[in-house]
């Protein structure tokens, strides 16, 4: 299939030279970008006229809990801090089932796609007793949406009775976890270039997983050649917990158990010392920055500017909708910029710095930068477009790409993933969203009242 996106007003390539192409085209063959330019385009089977569009590489979301879209804005915990919020919600979460996982994944993935995401990870750590194959259910949903997906098989092994936070009902035995990880990797993990589906391993956090099982995952990641992911240094409470339980602050604890390595990426990283940052850099660890979640839970402001200056791999993320209440990725990019300015002044980061984090930065965190994150020959055709004549951009077009960050961009109007058009005229192609919303609301109501 030969496809041409033509007459594009502005192409923000995010290639090595950060090239910008005006009045250009992108030529795609079988899901791969073959040519980007302004000369005469090659002949094609289909073409798409984009003369009013600003076009960017698709965004990469580096941390999420898709199931939490069923638990947004839960009135009892809209003003709680992390540990109180978790303790309340564990009791509701334990009742989820495969249908809830499937529908909530569809909801959350489509919401992100409509704000430009073409690749997402997910950390699904909730596997209540008697329930199985939750990761399979969310993969089924991802396949339906067409998104490039990198789920992380999450888990919890440290329950309340052993000094952790979660109740027994959502904590698993390590043998069962290992068996499921092995099954999932053999069934789904595709390590090849242009892969649409990879699996990572994700013990949930220092306060919900035992030291032994954290350590075991390092060997597993080497054995299978897969990435490692966890929450780290999110709050002051977590720091105190780690000092009390392990005698060390979070990053030092990770160092002790072998988790500071180039396969690991951490969500949050708010409470870091200079020496923590140097250790993360030295060991080439990645970061998923979740600014709205950090603000919503009052967790703090992560030292993103400092880490970006040190060339640590940083991606942006929406985090679970229960601590963000929205899965709007464009808002997250904008908030990354604004929040660093609160801390470091108006020139802390530029709009293009945060667009880089949203595209190439995320691709590097997920170790997919050899085939996604930029618009250039040889990369997968993961491409988004926004119409420039929308109200939110009116009067703001001196630089259309930075308008996406600085102005009110709303939704994307176009999205192509792996060469297939998934969003056209700001609508998901071939999908009845109203039906999904209806189902999602009825499941949410049932779970909240359970
Ligand atoms: Zn999270």
Residues 247-281: b if buried by 16+ CB within 10 A, e if exposed: ebbbbbbbbebbbbeebbbbbbbbbbeeebbebbe
Residue 188 within any structural domain of the chain: yes
- Residue 149 shares a structural domain with residue 281: yes
Nearest to 330, CA basis, from 132, 59, 6, 129: 59
Q: What is the per-residue pLDDT for 446? A: 96
Residue 450 within any structural domain of the chain: no
- Residue 201 shares a structural domain with residue 213: yes
* Inter-residue contact 328 to 284 (CB < 8 Å): no
228 Cα to the center of ligand 1, angstroms: 14
134 Cα to the center of ligand 1, angstroms: 17
67 Cα to the center of ligand 1, angstroms: 11
- Residue 53 shares a structural domain with residue 66: no
- Residue 261 shares a structural domain with residue 278: yes
268 Cα to the center of ligand 1, angstroms: 8
323 Cα to the center of ligand 1, angstroms: 8
Q: Which of 331, 365, 399 is the endpoint of a domain? A: 365
28 Cα to the center of ligand 1, angstroms: 35
What is the tens place of the pLDDT at every residue in 374-394? 999 999 999 999 999 999 999
* Inter-residue contact 260 to 280 (CB < 8 Å): yes
Residue 447 within any structural domain of the chain: no
Q: What is the pTM of this model?
A: 0.97
Residue 218's SS3 state is helix
- Residue 353 shares a structural domain with residue 378: no
- Residue 299 shares a structural domain with residue 156: yes
- Residue 241 shares a structural domain with residue 377: no
What CATH number does residue 161 fall under?
3.20.20.140
Residue 230 within any structural domain of the chain: yes
Q: What is the per-residue pLDDT for 449? A: 93
How much of the chain, in percent, has pLDDT values that exceed 70? 100
Q: What is the per-residue pLDDT for 86? A: 87
Report the distance separating Cα 219 and Cα 448, nearest Å: 38
Low pLDDT (below 70) residues in the chain: none
Residue 213 within any structural domain of the chain: yes
295 Cα to the center of ligand 1, angstroms: 13
The two structure tokens encoding residue 372: 């996604």
Q: What is the per-residue pLDDT for 82? A: 83
| Cβ atoms within 10 Å, residue 397 | 14
Q: What is the per-residue pLDDT for 94? A: 86
- Residue 158 shares a structural domain with residue 303: yes
Residue 448 within any structural domain of the chain: no
- Residue 27 shares a structural domain with residue 82: no
Structural domain of 110: 59-365
- Residue 16 shares a structural domain with residue 109: no
209 Cα to the center of ligand 1, angstroms: 14
Structural domains counted in the chain: 2
- Residue 50 shares a structural domain with residue 63: no
Q: What is the per-residue pLDDT for 81? A: 84
149 Cα to the center of ligand 1, angstroms: 17
Residue 96 within any structural domain of the chain: yes
319 Cα to the center of ligand 1, angstroms: 5
- Residue 408 shares a structural domain with residue 309: no
Question: Mean pLDDT, the chain, as a whole number?
Answer: 96
Q: What is the per-residue pLDDT for 206? A: 87
Residue 443 within any structural domain of the chain: no
230 Cα to the center of ligand 1, angstroms: 8
What CATH number does residue 415 fall under?
2.30.40.10
Whole-angstrom CA distances from 283 to 265, 312, 313 are: 11, 10, 11
Nearest to 118, CA basis, from 145, 153, 154, 140: 145
């Amino acid at each position: 299939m030969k496809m041409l996106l033509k007459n594009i007003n502005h192409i923000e390539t995010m290639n090595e030279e950060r090239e910008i192409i005006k009045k250009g085209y992108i030529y795609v063959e079988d899901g791969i970008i073959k040519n980007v330019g302004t000369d005469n385009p090659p002949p094609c089977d289909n073409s798409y006229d984009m003369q009013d569009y600003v076009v960017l590489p698709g965004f990469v979301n580096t941390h999420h809990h898709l199931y939490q879209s069923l638990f947004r804005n839960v009135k009892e915990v809209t003003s709680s801090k992390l540990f109180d919020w978790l303790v309340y919600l564990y009791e509701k979460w334990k009742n989820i089932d495969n249908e809830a996982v499937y529908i909530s994944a569809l909801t959350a993935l489509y919401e992100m796609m409509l704000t430009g995401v073409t690749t997402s990870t997910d950390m699904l750590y909730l596997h209540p007793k008697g329930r199985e194959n939750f990761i399979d259910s969310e993969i089924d949903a991802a396949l339906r949406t067409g998104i490039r997906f990198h789920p992380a098989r999450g888990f919890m092994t440290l329950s309340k009775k052993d000094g952790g936070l979660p109740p027994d009902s959502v904590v698993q035995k390590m043998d069962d976890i290992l068996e499921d990880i092995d099954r999932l990797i053999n069934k789904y993990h595709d390590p090849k270039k242009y892969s649409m589906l990879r699996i990572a391993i994700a013990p949930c956090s220092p306060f919900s997983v035992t030291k032994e099982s954290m350590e075991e995952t390092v060997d597993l990641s080497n054995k299978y050649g897969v990435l490692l992911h966890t929450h780290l240094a999110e709050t002051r409470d977590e720091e105190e917990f780690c000092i009390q339980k392990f005698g060390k602050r979070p990053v030092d604890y990770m160092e002790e158990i072998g988790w500071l390595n180039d396969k690991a990426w951490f969500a949050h990283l708010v409470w870091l010392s200079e020496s923590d940052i140097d250790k993360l850099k030295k060991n080439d660890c990645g970061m998923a920055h979740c600014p709205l979640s950090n603000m919503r839970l009052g967790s703090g402001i992560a030292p993103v500017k400092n880490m970006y200056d040190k060339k640590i791999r940083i991606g942006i993320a929406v985090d679970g909708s229960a601590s963000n209440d929205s899965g709007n990725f464009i808002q997250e990019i904008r908030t990354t910029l604004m929040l660093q300015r609160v801390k470091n002044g108006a020139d802390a980061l530029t709009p293009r710095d945060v667009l880089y984090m949203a595209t190439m930065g995320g691709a590097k965190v997920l170790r997919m930068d050899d085939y996604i994150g930029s618009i250039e020959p040889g990369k997968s055709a993961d491409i988004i477009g926004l119409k420039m004549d929308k109200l939110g951009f009116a009067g703001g077009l001196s630089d259309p790409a930075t308008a996406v960050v600085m102005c009110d961009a709303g939704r994307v109007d176009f999205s192509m993933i792996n060469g297939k058009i998934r969003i056209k005229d700001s609508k998901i192609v071939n999908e009845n969203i109203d039906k999904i919303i209806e189902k999602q609301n009825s499941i949410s109501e049932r779970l909240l009242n359970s």
